[in-house]
Structure 1
Amino acid sequence: MNLILQGLNTDRNAIDSIAALAGAERIAPIHANAWRCEGVQHFAEIKAKVDAECLAAQLDGTFIDGARKLSDFKLVAMDMDSTLITIECIDEIADMQGLKPQVAEITEAAMRGEIEFRESLTRRVALLKGLDASALQRVYDERLKLSPGAEKMLAAVQAAGLKTLLVSGGFTYFTDRMKTRLSLDYTHSNVLEIEDGKLTGRVVGGIVDADEKKNTVERVCAELGISPLQAIVMGDGANDLKMMGISGLSVAFRAKPVVRAQADVALNFVGLDGVLTLFA
């Protein structure tokens, strides 16, 4: 096993200390702020100590089989809100209605797994009833930003021949634009109902919840003729856990504690391109 340590700024003393804690045989630099600790011990007790030390040093630490390569994978599946992009679109739409605190509170509870996603989405969308649909474009133009490292990560995986899937409990208005902007292969999300230029407070068709996200990953894998174990799946909220659970590598990006605890990889400090460093 290797232990990959990376951060926005790294202190070599902290690297050496954590590597020693993991019983590393060698330490090799990957780039200025990333190190590969080779031949480490991987036991639950050691991992818990390493995780605590990494958090204190603002480092992301990942135990990974040294033989794994990016070419082992054929698909990268991503959540959108707070994963591929920095915002929760529905919270920002609600802000146009003066309802961001109320909607954001429901969003947070759902991402922590305290409210079932389907119920939370129905409640949040209902609060948007009557809002002019032009608010969606304003959110896209004024507030939507890609997460750090997103473009670099996507460029690398696409160059390596991996397919890309954006599967979101958010809305097609935004996933469609992300698909075009980032040359993604597949997208799947919810459709907001609009009548006479205004949001009705309803979603058209089925809701993309945790089960539908998992089903979508399975469906795309079947279409590609691959196993879900050949997919890297990234997310941040409780509704991402089911699709992350069937993947070959699950990545929690700046995620809720319940998600970090169950993921293979937790990136709390570096950008999405930190995934690439695991295979360097």
Structure 2
Amino acid sequence: MLIARLIADIATRETSQDLLARALREEGVALATAEVLADGDVLEMRFTDGDPQVVLAAIDSVFSPADMLVSRGPIFLPQVFVSDMDSTMIGQECIDELADYAGIKAQIAEITERAMQGELDFVAALRERVALLEGLGEGAIGECLAERISPTPGAKTLVATLSAQGCRTVLVTGGFHHFADPVGAMLGFDRVVGNRLEVVGGKLTGGLLGDIVDSGVKAAVLAEEAAGGRISLATGDGANDIPMIAAATYGFAYLAKPKARAAANGRVDRGDLTAVLSLLGIARSDWVEA
């Protein structure tokens, strides 16, 4: 049994549902039931069998833009939530914003974009960008945090609600503890994993301390937290999030780059991060508005 949940334009939902059922029937996927869930935002459709990627593609073709989740079997509350930070839990790429204080934002942002698209090796691109920040005063980080960094819409409510439901929350980023620690505290994460900028004499050296948090580390953190068969939720937007998203029970791509979006069985393209709560079946009355 395949279960597809989606949030789309209510005005055209019924017509689009018929078109979707017809399109999937041609692919050999039969619609068994369809109902609107309690809060009225989410349409749940059950299919007798089929390929989740075929269902996701069909939803894209009929409902776009929409927020969606496709699952093999019943959808349960997650027991662990692991999320990327930049452009997911916050609306910015920290290294790009920090680079602006060194007058090289455009140069670094171009590398960041290519890395997130999966066009560059993540570790090499990270080292290249950090090297360009050599000599920048550490105080610029505090200024950047205060002036540039803000949570994405729905991020605080998502984390607070999942925590209230007993879910362990972990922020894992290819960015830096200088940013991730205060962001994690602000959003209420239980654990933070990230990279460490080397600072000597109050200035960035252009180097990093310790092992690099890359896509493999993100996937390893998810595996560690979900050990024992715990139901997992992951959110991310870039190529280095793909192994984590693909390994999660419910892997959500949030306003994501194409490669990350293709790896996900959950996608948020239309709303904010509270769409994840709706698609998981958590009623609005249980949301913790933060």
Please report the TM-score for the alignment, with normalisation by the length of structure 1. 0.89
Determine the structure 2 residue equivalent to 1:17.
15
What is the CA–CA distance in structure 1 between the aligned matches of 2:116 and 2:45, rounded to whole Å? 35
Q: 1:211 to 1:132 in 2, by over 3 A?
A: same
AA aligned to 2:131 is: A
Q: 1:103 to 1:69 in 2, by over 3 A?
A: same
Determine the structure 1 residue equivalent to 2:231.
230
Q: CA deviation at 1:174?
A: 1.2
Q: 1:245 to 1:5 in 2, by over 3 A?
A: closer
Q: CA deviation at 1:46?
A: 5.1
State which drifts further: 181-190 or 80-89: 181-190
Determine the structure 1 residue equivalent to 2:204.
199
State which drifts further: 39-48 or 257-266: 39-48
Identical residues among aligned pairs (%): 34
Contact 1:2/1:40, CA 8 A, preserved across alignment: yes
Q: SS of the counterpart of 1:261? A: helix
Mapping of residues 199-278 of structure 1, within 5 Å: 199-222=204-227, 226-227=228-229, 230-278=231-279
2:191 is equivalent to residue 186 of structure 1: yes
What is the CA–CA distance in structure 1 between the aligned matches of 2:5 and 2:15, rounded to whole Å? 14
Q: SS of the counterpart of 1:278? A: helix
What is the CA–CA distance in structure 1 between the aligned matches of 2:166 and 2:104, rounded to whole Å? 42
Determine the structure 2 residue equivalent to 1:93.
98
- The one of 157, 161, 181 equivalent to 1:156 is 161
2:6 is equivalent to residue 26 of structure 1: no
CA RMSD of aligned residues (A): 1.9
What is the CA–CA distance in structure 2 between the aligned matches of 1:46 and 1:210, rounded to whole Å? 27
- The one of 151, 166, 182 equivalent to 1:146 is 151
Mapping of residues 20-169 of structure 1, within 5 Å: 20-23=18-21, 25-31=33-39, 34-40=41-47, 42-43=50-51, 45=54, 47-55=56-64, 58-64=65-71, 67-70=74-77, 73-169=78-174
AA aligned to 1:63 is: V
Q: 1:271 to 1:221 in 2, by over 3 A?
A: same
AA aligned to 1:37 is: E
AA aligned to 2:42 is: W
Q: CA deviation at 1:279?
A: 2.5
AA aligned to 2:245 is: M
State which drifts further: 155-164 or 60-69: 60-69
Structure 1 stretches lacking a partner, 5+ long: none
Contact 2:80/2:231, CA 8 A, preserved across alignment: yes
2:170 is equivalent to residue 171 of structure 1: no
